[in-house]
Amino acid sequence: MEDSQKLSLFHKSGVYNFKDSNTVFIDPVRVLNRFYNRFTVSPSTYYPRFFKSLTPKTTVPSSPTKRKRKKRKRCSEESRPLNDREQIALQRHQELRPLLMKAHECLLKSNGLLGALKDLRSESDSCCLKEECECGEQCFVELGQQAPDLVVTLNLCIRDIDKDMEDSPNVQYCEQRSILPVFNNFVVNDTEDDAMAEILNNHYIMPRESCFYMSDLGQIRNLIPAHTDCGFNLIMVDPPWENASAHQKSRYSTLPNRYFLSLPIKQLTHTEGALVALWVTNREKLRSFVEKELFATWGVSYAASFHWLKVKANGSLIGDLDLFHHRPYESLILGYSPGKVKNSDNQSKFKPLKDDHVIMSIPGDYSRKPPIADLLQEYIPGVKPPRCVELFAREIMAGCVAWGNEPLHFQDSRYFVKK
């Protein structure tokens, strides 16, 4: 495909496939925009780090003592002998390095794509739906504890086709309002249009054909379908792993690893099986927990690891590839959950996956992952379109159930612009 064709496809889909490799560049804003009819995702709120770097810094720079301490810590980490786990992590990194370098070279050679990234700022919105974007965000975890019976007003836009007019059916829209419990309840937008949800005077945009269930981990079993043929074919999981950084920034609470062993992956799996996509950080302790304990407990067989390489809008990596504790990439571990199809070995029906996929994108807000469901389509077993669920979600995708204690977080109207 010609570069110009690839670029025009990128502008429409948000996905740019590099030639002769399993490397893609994605613009999450464009990918997400495909889910909405009347709104678009605001690039300046999706990429706050990228846009903030434009405005003069108002934050107080860290003190020279703090900087020295940080530098000293980094040097000591780099100069002291590595322990066994760190040795394994280093080896893993060395094996991965050529693949990541090659992927990055692809991006640096794509002048057309780099040009399109430069335009990101000029394409941006002057204002998002909320007039004042800095106003406080709703904390759903606190709300869930203080007002468990809170309700959401869901405004759906229903298509009403006048069937009497067979030649040119007259499509009209009517608003339907329903009042539903916010917590421990499936809130569904089953229309083909965006829906607006209102909670305590705050507005949240729901994409077409989507659903959220907002609860604590204690209630996750309510997601288990009554019949396994109503289970899920794609199960995406981004757990709140314990991690000094998440804790420090206190963006969300984290949980010890043993809590994730009890996630009901088997019971959520569709009869015909599911692809499980699990985000992990680069901590070797975590990788070995997933490979040796977590997948086995879930009954998931390891298939491959994909890698998310984080770049800036000028194409450079967000940090030094070899910096030990701050790698500019994260991994997505993929495995298959077998389901319950009888009379055949359905494991052999699963499409084999290779470890050579690299996804590049500009990172969004803290710990926000790029939308990957589209990139995994060909590996998802079972029915089409697949039934998808995202566990520990902070946003809602079209065609997907979003579960977590704050799945509306990035659906706040502050993250959107009216078309």
Closest C-alpha among 196, 283, 278, 287 to residue 234: 278
216 forms part of the interface with ligand SAM (CB under 6 A): yes
What values do phi and psi take at 328, rounded to 5? Answer: -85, 30
Closest C-alpha among 17, 26, 62, 24 to residue 47: 26
DSSP 374-410: HHHGGG--SSSSPPEEEET-SS--TTEEEEES-TTGG
CB of residue 239 vs ligand SAM: minimum separation in angstroms? 6
CB of residue 251 vs ligand SAM: minimum separation in angstroms? 8
282 forms part of the interface with ligand SAM (CB under 6 A): no
CB of residue 134 vs ligand SAM: minimum separation in angstroms? 20
State the Cα–Cα distance between residues 52 and 199, nearest whole angstrom.
29
Q: Residue holding tokens 């804003």?
A: 29
Contact, 247 vs 254, CB < 8 A?
yes
253 forms part of the interface with ligand SAM (CB under 6 A): yes
Count of residues binding ligand SAM (CB under 6 A)? 16
CB of residue 184 vs ligand SAM: minimum separation in angstroms? 12
CB of residue 180 vs ligand SAM: minimum separation in angstroms? 19
Q: Which of 392, 396, 400, 413 binds ligand SAM (CB under 6 A)?
A: 392
Residue 98 preceded by cis peptide, ω within 30: no
Q: Which of 406, 408, 412, 414 binds ligand SAM (CB under 6 A)?
A: 406
Closer residue to ligand SAM in complex, CB, 145/253: 253
233 forms part of the interface with ligand SAM (CB under 6 A): no
With 0-12 / 13-18 / 19 or more C-beta atoms within 10 angstroms meaning exposed / middle / buried, residue 141 is middle
Q: Which of 217, 276, 397, 401 binds ligand SAM (CB under 6 A)?
A: 217
404 forms part of the interface with ligand SAM (CB under 6 A): yes
CB of residue 152 vs ligand SAM: minimum separation in angstroms? 18
Q: Supply angle C-alpha 172, 173, 176, rounded to 5.
A: 145
- Interaction site with ligand SAM (CB under 6 A): 216-217, 238, 240, 252-253, 255, 367-369, 392-394, 404-406
